[in-house]
Amino acid sequence: MASERTRGGDTRITLTSVLVDDQDKALRFYTEILGFEKKTEVPLGEHRWLTVVSPESPDGPELVLEPDAHPAAKPFKAALLDDGIPFTSFAVDDVRHEYTRLRALGVEFTQEPTVMGPVTTAVFDDTCGNLIQIAETT
């Protein structure tokens, strides 16, 4: 519920990031395996400003494939992996269907599709040092 003070604000969520160990590998995984499309690619010194979008909403939120070069990023990612924690979650219509499709493409899951109260979720390894959750509202 917007309060008097926040009403009329026009701040919107347009970008979210995943910290990847290799931008080329990440671009291949997020487009060829997950099925996103490349939206922007701007050279920025050693790395690139690189984003992908869902083909279902090309003008929707962009996912930034952000290099994990900062020294704090790697221990953070390793600690999340150790405990099996997906920092990023995407929506799908049918978790089981997507699980089967991704498994056939060689994607490794750390959690098979599981009913978790109002949602069904599964968790996979994006090969770039992250666990990603896919969730379906049941």
Chain positions contacting other proteins, by CB under 8 A: 78, 81-86, 108, 110-112, 114, 116-119, 121, 123, 125, 131
Residue that the structure tokens 């979210």 belong to: 16
* Smallest separation (angstroms) from other proteins to the CB of 111: 5
| Beta carbons within 8 Å of 110's beta carbon, 6+ residues apart | 84, 123, 124, 125, 131
Query: Measured from the CB atom, is 67 or 86 closer to other proteins?
Result: 86
Query: Measured from the CB atom, is 45 or 75 closer to other proteins?
Result: 75
* Smallest separation (angstroms) from other proteins to the CB of 110: 5
Query: Measured from the CB atom, is 15 or 105 closer to other proteins?
Result: 105
Dihedral sign, Cα of residue 97, residue 126, residue 124, residue 63: negative
* Smallest separation (angstroms) from other proteins to the CB of 125: 7
* Smallest separation (angstroms) from other proteins to the CB of 18: 16
- Phi/psi class of residue 96: alpha, beta or left (left: φ > 0; alpha: ψ in -120 to 50)? alpha
- The CA distance from 127 to 9, in Å, is 38
Residue that the structure tokens 């069904």 belong to: 120
Query: Measured from the CB atom, is 36 or 77 closer to other proteins?
Result: 77
* Smallest separation (angstroms) from other proteins to the CB of 26: 17
**Which H or E element spans position 64?**
strand 62-67
Query: Measured from the CB atom, is 53 or 81 closer to other proteins?
Result: 81
Pairing of the two strands 88-91 and 131-137 = parallel
